[in-house]
Amino acid sequence: MGSDSEGRWKDIDRLLLRPGNLVGPDFEPGPELRDSLQNFFRVLVIGAGGLGCELLKDLALSGFGNIDVIDMDTIDVSNLNRQFLFRMQDVGRPKAVVAAERVMQRVKGVNVIGHFGRIEGKEDDFYRQFHIIALGLDSLEARSYINSVTCSFLEYKADGSPDPSTIVPMVDGGTEGFKGHARVIIPGITPCFHCTLWLFPPQTTYPLCTLAETPRSPAHCIEYVHLIQWNQEWVGQTFDADNPDHMKWVYEQALKRAEIFSISGVTYSLTQGVVKNIIPAIASTNAIVAAACALEALKVATMCCKNMDNYMMYVGTQGIYTHTVSYEKDPNCLVCSAGALMEVDSSVSLQKFLDLLLEDPRFKDKLSKPSISHQGNNLYMQAPPVLEELTHPNLTQPLFELMGRAGGILNVNDKKLKGVLRIHVVFQGITNAVNMNPVGGD
């Protein structure tokens, strides 16, 4: 970026070169901050749609020099009205790859790497290498997955405080028509996505009798094909909303059903919106929310200002209205807390403890074959066979002897989990054992 004309970064320098009353606690003004942004910091943008395009542009123009972007979708003609990095000749190409190319063409000196694929297809070490992760997603499931991955990196010290070196901050943005939100998630410090799942309203559902017998809208026709007709005609094949062939079939069948009941308005884009529960995107909302997210990313990276605390809502239906709320972290969150508390008798064996885990209603449907470690030591591993054989003798040993009288944190891994489940074990009847501060961790 040294080839840029003088003054290119003067607005950023005004934030990074001067002290102030609103700066973060560790802010040290100086030219090193911009150098760090351009050469050291790595940011991952997840999603290259309407919000993701805005995020990439804003981050590159804010001085971030090394950006990665991942998206599993290819460009469709319907994207071109708001996803401004794409052109007609790009239709059919991966969004992430094209977005990376366009940003590098327009912002000289920035390095953007596009990754075409599912976020679940990347190993945890891929996400661990980034200093900040910015989310431009339209799926609760995808947000939940990334939240679980980043929180699984989190480790706690003996005094119960999070280890700063294991924190990967997230900046999350989302839009629904003229409404949107931006939030900062610092695992272990602020509420994680799982802590505030209640913020998201349940998806719209329709009575099956209406879908089957008296459809009255295009959405009814689409949902009938999606929920009923698909299973009748494609027995044993799971519908994949991200498969273009599956979506095209639903659209064509919904169109036929709409004609039978004299219903108009079934389109391919509406089919996508109903099946994926997508609310039409507004370009201006994407721009406003992305700008807020990019600013928060800059704050996290440089501490040039205190971070948002911790959730901003934007409503543009009747003018411009924003409101920031400080939500509280759930101390018993199974994803980001120091550990879900379990009090057990000191005579309980490791095998009995595993049985208690599987019976605990808090972990229902979350565990099948758990493996357990403590302070970096594998107490029992379900796989591979060589580790199972090596740790199998521990199953008959008292957990008290394997962990020590103070109890502490057990890290539980399972193929059903998206991350690590931390369990804070306290032994009943042991003097001074009941201590809500976790002791140790992987």
The whole-number pLDDT of residue 147 equals 92
How does strand 371-374 pair with strand 377-380? Answer: antiparallel
Residue 252, φ and ψ in degrees, nearest 5: -65, -40
Would residue 209 show up in a list of annotated catalytic residues for this protein? yes
- Give tens-digit pLDDT for 42-94: 999 999 999 999 999 999 999 999 999 999 999 988 788 889 999 999 999 99
Which of the residue ranges 10-14, 96-100, 418-422 has the most confident prediction, judged by mean pLDDT? 96-100
The whole-number pLDDT of residue 430 equals 64
Mean pLDDT of 226-251: 90
Is the torsion defined by CA of 105, 110, 113, 118 positive or negative? negative
Judged against a pLDDT cut of 80, whether residue 439 lies above it is answered with no
Average confidence score pLDDT of the chain = 87
Coil, helix or strand at residue 27: coil
How does strand 321-325 pair with strand 340-345? Answer: unpaired
Measured CA to CA, the distance from residue 336 to residue 167 in angstroms comes to: 11
- pLDDT above 90 as % of the chain: 49
pLDDT band at 417 (very low <50, low <70, confident <90, very high): confident
pLDDT band at 440 (very low <50, low <70, confident <90, very high): very low
Do residues 52 and 31 lie in contact, with contact meaning Cβ atoms separated by under 8 Å? no
Measured CA to CA, the distance from residue 391 to residue 381 in angstroms comes to: 6
- Give tens-digit pLDDT for 101-139: 999 999 999 999 999 999 989 988 899 999 999 999 988
Do residues 324 and 308 lie in contact, with contact meaning Cβ atoms separated by under 8 Å? yes
Structure tokens at 81: 């009205």
- pLDDT above 70 as % of the chain: 94
Judged against a pLDDT cut of 70, whether residue 411 lies above it is answered with yes
Mean pLDDT of 11-20: 89
Instruction: Respond yes or no on whether the N-terminal peptide bond of residue 384 is cis (omega within 30° of 0).
Output: yes
Instruction: Find where tokens 């997955």 sit.
Output: 145
Measured CA to CA, the distance from residue 112 to residue 66 in angstroms comes to: 6
Stretch among 101-105, 173-177, 411-415 having the lowest mean pLDDT: 411-415
The whole-number pLDDT of residue 6 equals 57
Mean pLDDT of 285-310: 94
Measured CA to CA, the distance from residue 173 to residue 181 in angstroms comes to: 6
Measured CA to CA, the distance from residue 22 to residue 19 in angstroms comes to: 9
Q: Hey, what's the torsion of the CAs at 127, 132, 138, 139, to 10 degrees?
A: 40
Q: Indicate which residue of 53, 192, 209, 305 is catalytic.
A: 209
Q: 429 versus 351: which is more confidently predicted?
A: 351
The whole-number pLDDT of residue 103 equals 97
Please work out, in degrees rounded to the nearest 5, the angle formed at the alpha carbon of residue 22 by the alpha carbons of 20 and 24: 100
The whole-number pLDDT of residue 89 equals 95
Judged against a pLDDT cut of 60, whether residue 175 lies above it is answered with yes
pLDDT band at 201 (very low <50, low <70, confident <90, very high): low
Is the torsion defined by CA of 441, 121, 168, 177 positive or negative? negative
Measured CA to CA, the distance from residue 339 to residue 332 in angstroms comes to: 7
pLDDT band at 154 (very low <50, low <70, confident <90, very high): confident
Is the torsion defined by CA of 270, 271, 272, 275 positive or negative? positive
The whole-number pLDDT of residue 58 equals 96
Helices 50-61, 283-302: inter-axial angle, 10-degree rounding: 40
Give the contacts of 244 (CB within 8 A, at least 6 positions apart).
none
Mean pLDDT of 338-351: 87
- Give tens-digit pLDDT for 377-394: 889 998 888 888 999 999
Mean pLDDT of 146-156: 88
Mean pLDDT of 361-366: 83
Judged against a pLDDT cut of 70, whether residue 297 lies above it is answered with yes
